[in-house]
Chain A
Amino acid sequence: MAALPESISQRLVNWARIKSPWITLFNSGACNACDIEVIACLMPRFDIERFGILAKGSPRHADILIVTGHVTLKQASRLRRVWEQISEPKYVIAMGACGASAGAFHGLYHIMERVEDVIPVDVYTAGCPPRPDEIINAVVTCLNLLKEDQVHGGKEWRQNKSDEMMKPIERKVEM
């Protein structure tokens, strides 16, 4: 995504993206606790649809991919394929302890251990499973990243920044 001069239609698209991010959920071999917490987000108690966050069934409609679970060897290529189907700009949330380092499953024979080994991750959420408000916080963090990326004209600036500083993305989660 190069830094184009902003036309009115592009500004409208950017505005709409931030007002209504669509998420899709991918279970890469999780124990389903994370999936249940995402479902709890959609239920009346948290009701993320009032913020315009919609859960979509197809990755082709989504802006944000939420990956739950340690990535099993069989699911790795499928996760990669799902990620490739999402149109730019796309953001990835690795959910829970499993997404960061396989959590309770660390060291087993059938897993990739980190989502980061398969696809680039923008935001990590801590917890086993993370609470629904932490998921909402992760989505909001993604939107802040999206705003900053629009200013910088792409995601490359964060790569340069991470060379200078230690893991700026993880610090963002704790904001």
Chain B
Amino acid sequence: MTALLTLDYVAEKMKEYGTAEQVRSNRIRIRTTPERVSNAIQKALESLGCDRLITISTADNGTTFELFYHLIGPHRTVVSIAIEIPRDQPEVISMSGILSPAGIYERQIHDLFGIMFRGHPGLKKIILNEDWPADEFPLRKDWKKNPDTYYGGIKVERT
């Protein structure tokens, strides 16, 4: 199974989870909802021949967070499963049970965007330093460095 997946094939297999679109020649995106994302990924693993996760990418759209789960298999087609979650209640179910490498990406996203992953076994800091303030998320669009806040490292005494 080394030929690229076609849009029709993917759309047929994934029709109960949402619409599929061809983003690039080797990339197909499926838009689904946060409630069905777990089943959609399970389905992609079982019936689309995907066997691993490349990464989870996140975007801040101002009103929502977009999460893309990029899956790939021996067919060399990237199947991206996209969801949108509201910005004022950033919560989504953790994929670490189905795809164990997802756990480490979810810790990163939790650090930098402040998205909660329900059911994650250890949602600790991974990228930011340990003494980083708990309610600041540096990759959110509205975040600004506050000169009065201590972000960790060494305290600077400027005269």
Contact = CB atoms under 8 A, between A and B. Distances in A.
B128 A112 contact: no
Contacts of A110: 128-129, 138
Contacts of B156: 112, 117
Contact of A112 (B132, B145, B153): B153
The DSSP consensus for interface residues of chain B is loop
A73 B128 CA distance: 9
B132 to A, nearest CB: 8
A72 B154 CA distance: 10
What interface size band does chain B fall in?
10 to 19
Most buried by B among A74, A80, A107: A74
Contacts of A71: 153
Contacts of B153: 71-74, 76-77, 112, 118
Contacts of A112: 153-154, 156
A76 B138 contact: no
Nearest to A77: B154
Interface residues of A, number: 13
A144 B130 CA distance: 41
Interface of A: 71-74, 76-77, 80, 107, 109-110, 112, 117-118
Contacts of B132: 73
A60 to B, nearest CB: 22
B151 interface: yes
A112 B151 CA distance: 9
Contacts, number: 30
Interface in B135-159: 138, 143, 145, 151-154, 156
6 contacts: A73-B132, A73-B151, A74-B152, A77-B154, A109-B145, A110-B138
Most buried by A among B128, B138, B143, B153: B153
A107 to B, nearest CB: 7
A80 B128 contact: no
A80 B155 CA distance: 12
Most buried by A among B143, B151, B154, B156: B154
A39 to B, nearest CB: 28
Contact of B154 (A80, A107, A109): A80
A118 B138 contact: no
Contacts of A109: 138, 143, 145, 151
Most buried by B among A77, A109, A110, A118: A109
B129 A74 contact: yes
Nearest to B139: A109
A118 B154 contact: yes
A6 to B, nearest CB: 36
A74 B143 CA distance: 20
A109 B149 CA distance: 12
Contacts of A117: 154, 156
Contacts of A74: 129, 152-153
A53 B14 CA distance: 65
Contacts of B138: 109-110
Contacts of A73: 129, 132, 151-153
Closest 7 CB pairs of A and B: A73-B153, A109-B138, A76-B153, A76-B154, A117-B156, A73-B129, A73-B152
